Amino acid sequence: MGSPDMTSISVSFEVRRQLNSMRALGNYKSVDDFLQQLLKEYRLNQISRDSDALQKALGSMNDIDVNGLIAKLELSPFQE
């Protein structure tokens, strides 16, 4: 993004310049609106990944013999 000898102020200006460029490409009113949209998309992607993982885990439960599991639980020493 910049040279190693850039100060924190110049890095901040460079980051702000890049954010403004991306904001303009997306026709957002402000950098804040742009960042909110990025966070929203990130969170939605995260939820989607978690949902996919949960669906996969639930799908693997279809192979479980429920009656056999109940029978094993009835033999459990922890029964009351």
Tokens of 8: 């924190």
79: left (phi over 0), alpha (psi -120 to 50) or beta: beta
CB-based contact 22:35 (threshold 8 Å): no
Map out the domains of the chain as residue ranges. Answer: 8-74
Question: Which pLDDT does position 39 carry in this prediction?
Answer: 95
According to the model, what pLDDT value does residue 53 have? 93
What pLDDT, on a 0 to 100 scale, did the predictor assign at position 12? 85
Q: 63 is written with which tokens?
A: 């192979």
User: Which residues neighbour 16 within 8 Å (Cβ) at sequence distance 6 or greater?
Assistant: 31
Per-residue pLDDT of the chain (80 residues; tens, 9 = 90+): 556 666 667 768 888 899 999 999 989 998 889 999 999 999 999 999 999 999 988 888 777 887 887 888 877 666 65
Please say whether the dihedral angle defined by the alpha carbons of residues 18, 14, 30 and 41, taken in this order, is positive or negative.
positive
What pLDDT, on the 0 to 100 scale, is given for residue 75?
75
